[in-house]
């Protein structure tokens, strides 16, 4: 089951996106609808609200007077937290029921207005963000919902800003045009990413680069992309992952690289990574275990291959190629990955030499495997220089 978190600021067009995803076959779980459902007349939720906030928030017909309740909680953070302590557990329980009822092959879209504010992003395989500029959103709220301009500005200001939204967004849907244009953008994401991701997830298939190795210019968003993935892995693995790091070429600012995010999961003992639950949880999260690739090439300063054992998982998302290397904390392979990253971050001359090597080998290699193998002799020498650097710099693995 592919879990998608859908969110966006008020007036962004999120509901339009949810409707289009439903048309494409997704199961949509609407948090706003559930929030209304759990406080309908006769529910325990409404009874608790009435007992907490008084009869003034109950309309004559026995339903919740949302305007009256909003007037109480909107400007009072303590009252809002009290309300959330009543409604959130009820909404969460109902959400779990609907997720459990969805077919295992479904794409389940969780439509959550406050996904960013509630820190829910790591719960999903992907987060889709619908965005429009503040003035566009304000105009929509005034024209489409009849909202007072000042009230519209206040509602927008109370939500997360663009920086916070971009930090969690895997898919960014800009909505400044027509509904048809937005629907077409959703269709492109569905066809190119969501549907194939779901197929990969169901079959335990990883997404991979094909053909010759191709270097791309450094992408300043690589670290943020890596952090989103790290947050997901930490959410899934909990304390089974002692440490998770962004490693490899995309972790080094300014370095051209294959467009692959490499992550290193440090475990207390490598046998932990072979536990069935560890493997199954990563696979369900979109990182299936790949056969082979169980050791790194030993270097002269630690020639015993036992010190270079690892496990390898690939990401199933075709929109973001990910390699997950699981290594034991303190092993030669774990230490070398961090050393190589930090050495290249610190040494501009070595970065430049590495880029030239990468470009030369990419131009002459027929496949990414051939490209990787051709780099090994350089790595053998480079690690000697890196170890010398670590000695005089006082470097220690973080």
Binding site membership for ATP: which residues?
Answer: 11-16
Q: How far is CA 75 from CA 80, 148, 202, 340, in A?
A: 8, 17, 46, 51
* 339 touches 387 (CB < 8 A): yes
Which residues lie below 8 Å from residue 131, measured CB to CB, with a gap of 6+? 8, 9, 12, 162, 165, 172, 173, 174, 175
Residues 116-124: contacts with CB under 8 Å, at least 24 apart? 116/7, 116/159, 116/160, 116/164, 116/165, 116/168, 117/159, 117/160, 120/5, 121/5, 121/168, 121/228, 121/231, 122/231, 122/232, 122/234, 122/235, 123/3, 123/5, 123/235, 124/3, 124/4, 124/5
Q: How far is CA 90 from CA 35, 84, 112, in A?
A: 8, 10, 15
The tokens for 222 are 């690589």
* 232 backbone dihedrals φ, ψ, rounded to 5°: -65, -45
Angle of helix 77-101 versus helix 66-73 axis, rounded to 10 = 120
What is the per-residue burial (b if ≥16 Cβ within 10 Å, else e) of 268-300?
eebebbeeeebbebbeebbbbbbeeeeebebbe
* 68 backbone dihedrals φ, ψ, rounded to 5°: -65, -40
CA angle 116, 317, 213 (to 5 degrees): 125
Beta strands, E only, 277-350:
311-314, 322-328
Give Cα 239 distance to the centre of its chain: 19
Beta-strand pair 126-131/2-8 = parallel
* Residues tagged in the binding site annotation: 11-16
Greatest C-alpha distance within the chain: 81
């Amino acid at each position: 089951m592919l879990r998608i978190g859908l969110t966006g600021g008020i007036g962004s067009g999120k509901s339009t996106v949810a409707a289009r995803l439903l048309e494409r076959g997704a199961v949509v779980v609407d948090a706003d609808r559930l929030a209304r459902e759990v406080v309908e007349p006769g529910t325990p939720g409404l009874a608790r609200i009435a007992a907490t906030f008084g009869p003034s928030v109950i309309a004559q017909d026995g339903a919740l007077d949302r305007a009256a309740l909003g007037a109480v909680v909107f400007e009072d953070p303590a009252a809002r937290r009290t309300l959330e302590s009543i409604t959130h557990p009820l909404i969460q329980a109902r959400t779990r029921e609907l997720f459990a009822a969805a077919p295992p092959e479904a794409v389940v879209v969780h439509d959550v207005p406050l996904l960013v504010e509630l820190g829910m992003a790591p719960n999903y395989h992907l987060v889709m963000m619908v965005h429009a500029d503040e003035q566009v959103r304000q105009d929509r709220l005034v024209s489409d919902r009849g909202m007072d301009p000042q009230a519209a500005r206040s509602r927008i200001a109370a939500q997360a800003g663009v920086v916070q939204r971009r930090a969690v967004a895997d898919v960014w849907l800009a909505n400044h045009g027509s509904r048809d244009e937005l629907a077409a953008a959703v269709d492109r994401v569905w066809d190119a990413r969501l549907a194939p991701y779901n197929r990969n997830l169901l079959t335990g298939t990883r997404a991979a680069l094909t053909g010759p190795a191709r270097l791309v210019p450094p992408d300043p968003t690589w670290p943020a992309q890596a952090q989103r993935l790290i947050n997901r892995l930490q959410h899934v693995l909990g304390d089974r992952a002692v440490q998770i790091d962004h490693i490899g070429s995309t972790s080094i600012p300014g370095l051209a690289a294959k467009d692959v995010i490499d992550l290193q999961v440090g475990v207390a003992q490598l046998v932990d990574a072979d536990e069935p639950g560890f493997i199954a949880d990563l696979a369900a999260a979109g990182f299936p275990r790949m056969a082979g690739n169980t050791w790194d090439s030993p270097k002269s300063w630690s020639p015993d291959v036992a010190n270079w054992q690892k496990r390898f998982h690939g990401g199933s998302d075709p929109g973001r190629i990910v390699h997950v290397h699981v290594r034991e904390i303190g092993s030669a392979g774990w230490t070398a990955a961090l050393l190589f990253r930090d050495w290249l971050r610190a040494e501009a001359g070595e970065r430049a030499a590495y880029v030239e090597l990468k470009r030369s080998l990419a131009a002459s290699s027929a496949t990414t495997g051939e490209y990787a193998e051709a780099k090994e002799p350089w790595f053998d020498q480079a690690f000697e220089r890196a170890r010398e650097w670590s000695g005089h710099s006082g470097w220690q693995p973080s």
